[in-house]
Each structure stands twice: as C-alpha cells, then as structure tokens.
Structure 1
Amino acid sequence: MAEPQSPLGANFVPGNHGNAAAGIGVTLRERKGLSVIQVTAWRDAIPAMLTAIGSATGLALQNKPGLGRVAGEKSVFGFAPGRYFVVSATPDLETRLRSVISPELGTIIDLTHGRTVIRVSGPRSEWVLSKLFAIDFSEHAFPIGSGRATLHHDIHANIQRIDDESFDLYVFRTFARSFWLTLGHAAEEVGYRVE
C-alpha cells in the first residue's frame, strides 16, 4: 500500500527558519509510515482491554487516565476514560489488535489516513507548545509517555510526550497544513528547523 501524500504540501520547507541566529529552539518534522489506531474500551472492560493492547504491542499500560508508554517507534496513550491511541511503524498493527480485542471488549478504528503526526522536539518545545495550548507541559505535570486531548482554537489535537524534549501531535489531516503554519509562527521567535 502506498504511503498517503503529505497534507503539508508546499508548506513543508526543510531547513532553518525564524530567529535561528542564537541556535535552534525546536525541530519540527512530520512522522510518516505510522499506523494510528484508536481503541475504545467498554466501561467494564478497561482492564481486559489494557491487557489486550499490551499483548498486541508489548507495551503494558496502567489503568490511569492520560498515562502511556513509548518504546522506539511504537507508543500507546490514554486521552479519555477508556480511549487510547495505539501507534506503530508497522502496517499490521490493526490486524494484531483485532486478533486480541473482541467486540465484547470495545471498538477499534483505524485513523492512519485521517491524522497527521507532527513531532516537536528541542530545548524550547515546552515553551513553544505552551503558546498554543492551555496545558502545563512541564515534565512534572505531563510525564514521558502520557497523552492529552486538547484544542487550539477549533483544531483538535492529541499530544503525547515522547521524551524530555519531544512531543508528538496528532491532528486531523484536513487541518494539518493550517496547524503546521501556526506551529511555525509560534516557533519563529526561538528559531526552528524543519526536517
């Protein structure tokens, strides 16, 4: 299956941008080749669903809102009660999840072609994202692996903290170009690199 065309189009311009004279504050890149699956557990089936997700991915997840795990190119995080994003760089993720998740546990929706994933990383990533979202991005309030669902004006985003300085943002493909431009404007002050 061919990889979908990037919705960023001509707005994806590699290189350094903004006030890069004092160094690069953040790096922006579109993550491609990912499977993005939303899994929703029925209320009484959350523990069994978490066990099933762990079985399919190797990522054990605690039953606490917003918590998640990251291991290389795969991750899982909760963003609402009983709702999880499961992400992997393998095309068979949905098949693996369906093999262990029965309809009695919940639902599975493949969002791969409906979301664009943007990684924001660098020493000023928390500061840049704080300009766009009303969230405390400090590691104390937003630990590694955890996720949040939020809005920037009318653009919905799911955000997962990947490491000390990196976040993955999941936005609807139809809003990706507009959000990419907004993200670039927010990062201009600290200088940013597009990879």
Structure 2
Amino acid sequence: MVDLQSPLGVTFIPGDHGNAAGGVGITLHERTNISLIQVTAWNNTIPTVLTAIGSATGVIVQNKPGHGWVAGEKSVFGFAPGRFMVTGATPDLEQRLRAAISTDLGTIVALTHGRTVIRISGSRVEWVLAKLFALDFSEHAFPVGTGRATLHHDIHTLIQRIDENSFDLYVFRSFARSFWLTLGHAAEEVGYRVE
C-alpha cells in the first residue's frame, strides 16, 4: 500500500452541495489507504487462482463468472474473463497475493499508484449513476458484490456494488479530478455531501 497524495486537489470540498435543502441524496468519499491489485488468471487456472485470492484475503470467493464478493473493507470482483480487482486496507496485500499465486497460475499487478477509488452512496445513488453510465443499477440486475467495467465518455471506470446503497468507482488517477467534478454535477439535483 502506497500513501499517495489525493489527485482530487482543490476540487475536494467537504460539506453539502447542490440542492441539499430537501436533504442529501448521496455522499461522495474518496477511499484512501487501500491497496488495489489486479490479478489475471490463465485460462485453465481460474478456480485455483480464486482459491488463492480467498486464502490471501480472507474473502470467500467462488468460481461464478460476473460475480464479486465484499467482506468489510476488502473486496474482489471479476471485471473481464480471468481478471479480478482485489482491494483491501492491508498494506501487505500485494505480497500476500504474490505468495499465494505463482507465475504459472497468473499475473499480479499493483494498481494502487494508478487508480483512485470513489465511494458513492445514498438513497439516490442508482439515479445519479444511471445519468453517467448505460447500465441497469437496480439491485436485481447489479447485485451486491458484482462489478462491471464500463466507460463514461473516454473515462474507463470499474464499478462494484458494495451494499444496497453504495458503489465503489475505480478510475485512473489522471482522470480522477475531472470525474469527481462530473459526479458532483450529476448529483447536484438530489443534493450531495462530500466527506
């Protein structure tokens, strides 16, 4: 885990914004002090790699394509065939995964330095996200734990549902400030809080 300066800079303004007079519809929060690791399994090693991820993280994972798993501040989700984003507030997460997954099973790439994770939560979260992405965010179509890889214009975004009213959005650090402002604009009509 790398202690990085936030790329949000002056755009990170705590407090209530937009049409918050009738209450706050969503909350925006940058997740910090977490490790982000991409694990890619070779075609014939996916079940073994998922077992290894589970033993390294303590998250119970199963070989169910398109699914994801959340356990507290740790999560795992598949965003492409054989590719998994593993997140945790554990500084030695990369070392634990490297010890559990040999190069004959797959590859491990640390992405902590290259991604920003924004948690968006609240009663209007599905409404706000649907303004930006051509996805069905309802819980029956996008259940807890599930992750999707998508785009907002040219900004590649990995999205994972954390609970009924919360999603984590993974974006490249170089786009984080612009994307943060876009989220704020999309949330203005329902009111939003920055924490």
**TM-score bin (small chain):** over 0.9
Determine the C-alpha separation between the residues in 1 that align with 2:115 and 2:66: 19
Deviations 1:62-103 (A, max 9, x none): 222221111111111111110000000011000000111000
Which residue does the alignment assign to 1:63?
63
**Secondary structure of the corresponding residue to residue 178 of structure 2:** helix
**Runs of 5+ unmatched residues, structure 2:** none
Determine the C-alpha separation between the residues in 2 that align with 1:51 and 1:164: 26
Determine the C-alpha separation between the residues in 1 that align with 2:180 and 2:155: 11
Which residue does the alignment assign to 2:79?
79
Which residue does the alignment assign to 2:139?
139
| Paired amino acid for 2:9 | G
| Paired amino acid for 2:33 | G
Determine the C-alpha separation between the residues in 1 that align with 2:33 and 2:160: 18
Deviations 1:38-73 (A, max 9, x none): 000000000100110011011122222221111111
**C-alpha displacement of 1:164:** 0.3
Which residue does the alignment assign to 2:21?
21
Which residue does the alignment assign to 1:181?
181
Determine the C-alpha separation between the residues in 2 that align with 1:143 and 1:135: 13
**Runs of 5+ unmatched residues, structure 1:** none
1:49 equivalenced with 2:21 (yes/no): no
TM-score by length of 1: 0.98
TM-score by length of 2: 0.98
Which residue does the alignment assign to 2:159?
159
Within a 5 Å distance, the mapping from 1:59-138 to structure 2 comes to: 59-138=59-138
Is the CA contact (8 Å cut-off) linking 2:18 and 2:191 kept in structure 1? Answer: yes
Deviations 1:3-60 (A, max 9, x none): 1110000000000000001100000010000000000000000010011001101112
* CA pair 88-16 structure 1, distance change in 2 beyond 3 A: same
- Count of aligned pairs between the two proteins: 195
Determine the C-alpha separation between the residues in 1 that align with 2:2 and 2:156: 26
The percentage of counterpart residues that share the same residue type is: 75
Is the CA contact (8 Å cut-off) linking 1:132 and 1:152 kept in structure 2? Answer: yes
